[in-house]
Amino acid sequence: MTDMMDMTTSPTVGDRIVHKRFPAINRHRLALYCGASGDHNPIHVDIDFAKASGFPDVFTHGMLVMGYLGQALSDAVPPGRIRSFSTRFAAITQLGAEITCEGQVTELIEAGGERRARLALTARDQTGEIKLAGEAIVAV
């Protein structure tokens, strides 16, 4: 595994360019995200609603975790160079999850008249379970 690097030098396949850990997600964070994102689905903040819907407790907005992954991505790649960003929500992210985001270069391509890199991205909790798996295409 190669060391962390930034996108100002030319990346090669296998480079780990994204890595960031985030603090444990608590109820307060979910309440803040509810207001900040406009996603007022009560399943993320109202335990009574969550239980009535068959869940043991409220759980994290997938888009909060994708927000973390986006933050880890744009720490490594200036936002003006990000061409696309996509994720699959592989598992529900529970309260208390400590998310680690990682990404590495999997392919170098030419598209849109520029040189681009494809990055494979993951967000895992503290047990190593993949919560989000995705990719980004960035100009290099």
Partner 1 sequence: MVDQSAVGRRFTPVTAHVEAGRLRYFLDTLGETNPVYRDAAAAKAEGFAAPPIPPTYLFCLEMLDNEKPFEFLEALEIDLGRVLHGEQSFTYHAPVMVGDSLTFSPQVTSVTDKKGGAMTLIGVETTVTNQHGVHVADTTRTIVVRNG
Which residues of the shown chain bind partner 1 in the complex (CB under 8 A)?
22-23, 29, 32-33, 35-43, 49-50, 52-54, 61-64, 66-68, 70-71, 73-75, 78-80, 82-89, 92
Closer of 12 and 57 to partner 1 (Cβ): 57
- 8 A C-beta contact, residue 120 and residue 66: no
Please, what is the minimum distance in Å from the beta carbon of residue 29 to partner 1?
7
- Which residue, 19 or 42, has its beta carbon nearer to partner 1? 42
Q: Which of 116, 97, 98 is nearest to 108 (CA)?
A: 116
Tokens of residue 3, six digits: 């060391």
Q: Is-contact 125 93, C-beta < 8 A?
A: yes
- Give whichever of 43 and 108 is closer to partner 1, judged by the CB atom: 43
Q: Shortest approach of partner 1 to residue 48 CB, angstroms?
A: 11
Nearest-approach distance from CB 78 to partner 1, in angstroms: 6
Tokens in use for 128?
A: 């190593």
Helix (H) or strand (E) holding 92: none
Compute the least distance from the CB of residue 1 to partner 1, in Å.
25
Which residue, 5 or 50, has its beta carbon nearer to partner 1? 50
Q: Is 127 exposed, middle or buried (0-12, 13-18, 19+ CB in 10 A)?
A: exposed
